[in-house]
Structure 1
Amino acid sequence: MSNDKQIRYREFQKQGAIREEWIANPDSAVPCPASKSEFSFKNADDSYWEINNYEIGLPDAFEQSDMEALKIREQVYQRVNADMYSDEGEEAIAFSGRAGKKVLFIEDITKGSETGPWISEVCMAAYQMHFPLFTLRHIFIANLNEKETKEFATERLKLEMDPKAFKSGTPEFQQILGTRIGKAVAYIVLNSFDRGTRKISKISMWLTGGQSRSIQSRFDLELVSGNH
């Protein structure tokens, strides 16, 4: 492994450990820039937002057996497409995903400007559109295509078809949390819940598909003991 990669991975781990501490500790030594958010599509300005939703099944890379392993019953999912436009009519935010009870699939999200809410708030709002936030237990990144995180997962984690699971506090867990996708998921938790009441207990990553393989990832959320 080159020195440049070692330095990069150490920085990922440092940032991931900070984000893990933000989620766990409302009195963290490093100030947290994110807090519980009141954003929702209900209070979004219709003149800027175009939001569509309809019933749908699981993403192609997933089967009901994957959900049953998480104790999630068979259900109809809700497709959520949300696009925000600037005053000039240009697309500022684009979100595509689907929500079911306990689970949020993030399939595509882009933010082209500083205008509007954080992408983590948009993801939060997509789930909250159909289910109470306190029921959210699993966040999937389907067909991960964010360049930084994809390169890290490919080079560092050596993924296979069988999921690799990384528990909170481990170097790999913190390194994933230090990537851009890890940051987005950490901020979803920070925007959705009071600090110290939830934690990301485990991150799983694996490959699907044939020759053209895709990376799937799952972030498991857990209620911290003593909180409801």
Structure 2
Amino acid sequence: MEMVEEPLRYSGYQARGKKILEWVNNPSASGCFIEACNVTWNELNDWASVGEAQTDPNSIEHREIVTDAQQRKVKGPWTLNDISSREVSPGGTAGKWNLWESFIAPGNLYITNMFRESGYHASQIAQVLYERQHPIRTLKHVIVIDVVNEDTIQFCEDELFTANNALVWPPPRPQTFVYGSAEYEGLVGTRLGTTVTYLVLGAFARGTHRISQITVEHPYRACIMIRFDIEDLNSISSPSSKGSSPGSKRRQTSDDDEEYVEGPRKRRKSPGNTDPEHYSGPARRTRKPVGGYTVLPDGRIRKPPY
């Protein structure tokens, strides 16, 4: 009897997630264009100067990080990294903004700002910065603070956190979606999910590591935080080696699968009411498109999702 495949619950997002997960799980799966990341610290600095400071996250400005670290018993030492090319773009290319800010503690990468228009991919930057401090095999958690990526927020609000799933948006408590569930596959298929999965593909041999679960929460103000937990399947270390540059040895990619990351942002004020009917957070704000970009009410600039 011929088996009839059930339709995907989350359509395009889930289909994209399942395709990428096939690359993660099956080393012989065709179509994977993500190669082992072999970018070095010096190469990253040649592209754009990287700020580095040994400092703890501030309990006021980085309240979400401090609270999460306390809850999960994350210990230092802490490293703050930042990249900014607002005025002069890498390689002298006009109009190309590249912004990054993250905190690193053993086993944990907290990303507080990422926006890329040229050069290295966000997943490559993340790996280089983490490997600067610790062996990549020790990376267990990637936490994105204050998610504003429209593609990811749209999936969460319109398809995942809905009455059909007995969930509300924004989530009043952390919601965890485990490997193998349709919800997990849909989250992997979002722009943010693909970026973190590309990090796994570039950092580890295929079939050895994967994202075990994804947690979405709304800890403070209008902030949405998403945590990706990485598990080691076979205790095999990273295949990374040395030597690539943005212009010559960058990994293959395609326009459809280009990593998209979040635009420059400022800390948002509390919406004042977290009831879903009155929520005024990132997915409900009025946006004004200008020349392919989007200017938010607070003046932030957002790159188009495609």
Q: Under a length normalisation based on structure 2, what TM-score does the superposition of the two structures give? A: 0.65
Q: Identify which range, 120-129 or 198-207, moves more after superposition.
A: 120-129
1:88 maps to which residue? 92
Task: Tell me if structure 1 keeps the 8 A contact 2:48–2:90.
Answer: no
Say yes or no: does 1:31 pair with 2:31.
yes
1:67 paired residue among 66, 69, 85:
69
CA 155–131 in structure 1, closer or farther in 2 if over 3 Å, else same: same
Structure 2 Cα separation of the partners of residues 57 and 87 of structure 1: 31
1:141 maps to which residue? 144
1:76 maps to which residue? 77
Task: Tell me if structure 1 keeps the 8 A contact 2:176–2:214.
Answer: yes
Q: Secondary structure at the match of 1:61?
A: helix
CA 86–62 in structure 1, closer or farther in 2 if over 3 Å, else same: closer
Q: What amino acid is the match of 1:61?
A: E
Q: What amino acid is the match of 2:120?
A: P
2:223 paired residue among 208, 214, 217:
214
CA 86–74 in structure 1, closer or farther in 2 if over 3 Å, else same: closer
1:3 maps to which residue? none
Q: How does 1:38-57 map to 2 (within 5 A)?
A: 38-44=38-44, 46=46, 48-54=47-53, 55-57=55-57
Structure 2 Cα separation of the partners of residues 107 and 168 of structure 1: 25
* Bigger proportion of residues as helix: 1
- Using the TM superposition, give the Cα deviation of residue 23 of structure 1 relative to its aligned residue in structure 2, in angstroms: 1.1
- Using the TM superposition, give the Cα deviation of residue 126 of structure 1 relative to its aligned residue in structure 2, in angstroms: 1.6
2:106 maps to which residue? 101
1:187 maps to which residue? 198
Q: Identify which range, 154-163 or 85-94, moves more after superposition.
A: 85-94
- Using the TM superposition, give the Cα deviation of residue 13 of structure 1 relative to its aligned residue in structure 2, in angstroms: 0.1
Decide which structure has the larger Cα Rg and report it: 2
2:11 maps to which residue? 10
Structure 2 Cα separation of the partners of residues 169 and 219 of structure 1: 14
Structure 1 Cα separation of the partners of residues 214 and 74 of structure 2: 21
Deviations 1:158-178 (A, max 9, x none): 242311010111111010110
Q: What amino acid is the match of 1:27?
A: S
Structure 2 Cα separation of the partners of residues 124 and 138 of structure 1: 12
Q: How does 1:147-158 map to 2 (within 5 A)?
A: 147-158=150-161
Q: How does 1:108-123 map to 2 (within 5 A)?
A: 108-113=113-118, 116-123=119-126
Structure 1 Cα separation of the partners of residues 199 and 43 of structure 2: 18
Superposition misfits of 4+ residues, deviation over 6 angstroms: none
Structure 2 Cα separation of the partners of residues 27 and 92 of structure 1: 36
Q: What amino acid is the match of 2:236?
A: N
Deviations 1:160-216 (A, max 9, x none): 23110101111110101101001100001111111111010000001122xx42111
- Using the TM superposition, give the Cα deviation of residue 142 of structure 1 relative to its aligned residue in structure 2, in angstroms: 0.5
Say what the alpha-carbon RMSD is for the aligned residues: 2.3
Structure 2 Cα separation of the partners of residues 62 and 205 of structure 1: 14
CA 196–68 in structure 1, closer or farther in 2 if over 3 Å, else same: farther
Say yes or no: does 1:205 pair with 2:205.
no
Aligned length: 215
Q: Secondary structure at the match of 1:56?
A: coil
- Using the TM superposition, give the Cα deviation of residue 122 of structure 1 relative to its aligned residue in structure 2, in angstroms: 0.8
CA 223–213 in structure 1, closer or farther in 2 if over 3 Å, else same: same
Q: Identify which range, 80-89 or 159-168, moves more after superposition.
A: 80-89
Structure 2 Cα separation of the partners of residues 62 and 106 of structure 1: 10
Structure 1's unaligned 5+ residue stretches are: 1-5
2:234 maps to which residue? 225
Q: Secondary structure at the match of 1:31?
A: coil
Identity %: 22
Q: What amino acid is the match of 2:234?
A: S
Structure 2 Cα separation of the partners of residues 173 and 131 of structure 1: 28
Q: What amino acid is the match of 1:121?
A: Q
Structure 2's unaligned 5+ residue stretches are: 1-6, 162-169, 238-306
Structure 1 Cα separation of the partners of residues 143 and 160 of structure 2: 18
